[in-house]
Amino acid sequence: MALRADFDALPIQDEKDVEYKSQVPGVMHACGHDGHTATLLAIAKVLVQNKEELQGNVVLIHQFAEEITPGGAISMIEDGCLDGVDAIFGTHLWSPTPTGEIRYRTGPFMAAPDKFTITIQGKGGHGATPHETVDSIVVGASIVTRLQQIVSRKVDPLKPAVLTIGTFHGGDAFNVIADSVTMDGTVRTFDKDVQEIIIENMEKIIKAECEAAGATYHLDYVKGYPAVNNHEEETMLLVNSASKVVGSEHVQEIAPLMIGEDFSYYLQKVPGTFFITGAGNKEKGIVAPHHHPKFDIDEESMLVAAKTLVTVALDYLHS
């Protein structure tokens, strides 16, 4: 069986005042992946010290580029990291959940995270003569508003979906009508049919708004990782193993999360499960969300994760 940890950082300035603050300007571990790596290294040490007790092999996967589409998992799999592996398990240290808590889900757990860039080409000009221009900012603003209607009016409300515009760039001066606008965003879905509905309606809306205003556009849509779908048997094994570590009252099933994870590629190849290990602690002031400049984890969470994964490994091999 295999255990996986990712180790990449993010392009964010670290604003924590701790001894392990990032030493690289503009780069920090803002998602807990350094904790994942440390956890798996500790597990490696423990397993090697007790290898005579193992009734099988444990593969330890240290993976790069989970944060960057298409992700590092594909390359790892192509390079043979799952050769001979019968099942895989992984966890994410998660600050919104208190330390000492384990969260899991059978079936769809994390969404497919897509990325898109929309470029609107208008006709720039003087701010005092808008009638002689095609205002790309006005067109872009209208598109942003219309796109928000796709999830609320085109997608079955019982099927989760998110469409978010994350950036909007246009113009350089207060008295100049912008020649072009660029915006970036993300779509999150579990159902491939819902994904296609959103893509189709995005194209229709952008095209219609641009044609009405006399602008042109380019939509660059990149499908990200598939959704994380946990296997039932391995998830139930995780529940039993985690209950031995933290107590059954601290192991709870949760609703699907709209975040993405390329652990999904491993689960398409072999059975397994991906789960959440709580890493937040209000008493210690560890409350910042993931991908935040002040993000941190309660280091006790690494011990919980290590104990849980070691127990999972032993329970799986002995079963």
- At residue 300, the pLDDT reads 98
Active site residue 8: yes
Nearest alpha-carbon partner for 110 in 15, 248, 228, 274: 228
- At residue 89, the pLDDT reads 98
Give the separation between CA 156 and CA 137, rounded to whole angstroms: 31
Q: Percentage helix, strand, coil, to 5, in the chain?
A: 35, 30, 35
Strands (DSSP E) contained in 2-128 are: 2-6, 59-63, 88-98, 102-104, 107-110, 112-121, 125-126
pLDDT for residue 138 is more than 90: yes
Active site residue 79: no
Question: Per the structure block, which two tokens stand in for 158?
Answer: 């019982």
Residue 242's contacts (CB-CB under 8 Å, 6 or more residues apart) are 102, 104, 251, 275, 308, 311, 312
Question: Per the structure block, which two tokens stand in for 82?
Answer: 């799952």
For residue 51, the Cα-to-chain-centroid distance in whole angstroms is: 34
The terminus-to-terminus CA distance of the chain in angstroms comes to: 12
Question: Per the structure block, which two tokens stand in for 249?
Answer: 């009252």
Vertex 32: Cα angle to 312 and 25 (nearest 5): 155
Give the separation between CA 275 and CA 93, rounded to whole angstroms: 9
The string of pLDDT tens digits covering residues 82-112 is 999 999 999 999 999 999 999 999 999 999 9
- At residue 66, the pLDDT reads 96
- At residue 313, the pLDDT reads 97
- At residue 53, the pLDDT reads 86
For 163, the 3-state DSSP assignment is strand
Residue 6's contacts (CB-CB under 8 Å, 6 or more residues apart) are 33, 36, 37, 62, 63, 64, 66, 72
309-318 average pLDDT score = 96
Give Cα separations from 17 to 25, 33, 116, 188, 293 (angstroms): 14, 19, 35, 34, 11
Give the separation between CA 16 and CA 21, rounded to whole angstroms: 6
Vertex 68: Cα angle to 289 and 275 (nearest 5): 55
Nearest alpha-carbon partner for 68 in 289, 261, 198, 273: 261
62-71, 126-135, 182-191, 249-258: least confidently modelled range: 62-71
For 189, the 3-state DSSP assignment is strand
pLDDT for residue 166 is more than 90: yes
Vertex 51: Cα angle to 50 and 56 (nearest 5): 135
267-291 average pLDDT score = 97
| Mean per-residue pLDDT of the chain | 97
Q: What is the dihedral of CA 82, 88, 89, 92, to 10 degrees?
A: 40
Domains within the chain, CATH numbers bracketed: 2-110+227-318 (3.40.630.10), 112-222 (3.30.70.360)
ω into residue 70 within 30 of 0, thus cis?
A: yes
- At residue 69, the pLDDT reads 86
- At residue 299, the pLDDT reads 97
For 238, the 3-state DSSP assignment is helix
- At residue 194, the pLDDT reads 98
pLDDT for residue 144 is more than 90: yes
- At residue 296, the pLDDT reads 98
pLDDT for residue 152 is more than 90: yes
147-160 average pLDDT score = 97
Q: Name the catalytic one among 6, 14, 34, 66.
A: 66
pLDDT for residue 319 is more than 90: no
The string of pLDDT tens digits covering residues 167-221 is 999 999 999 999 999 999 999 999 999 999 999 999 999 999 999 999 999 999 9
pLDDT for residue 291 is more than 90: yes
The string of pLDDT tens digits covering residues 14-36 is 999 999 999 999 999 999 999 99
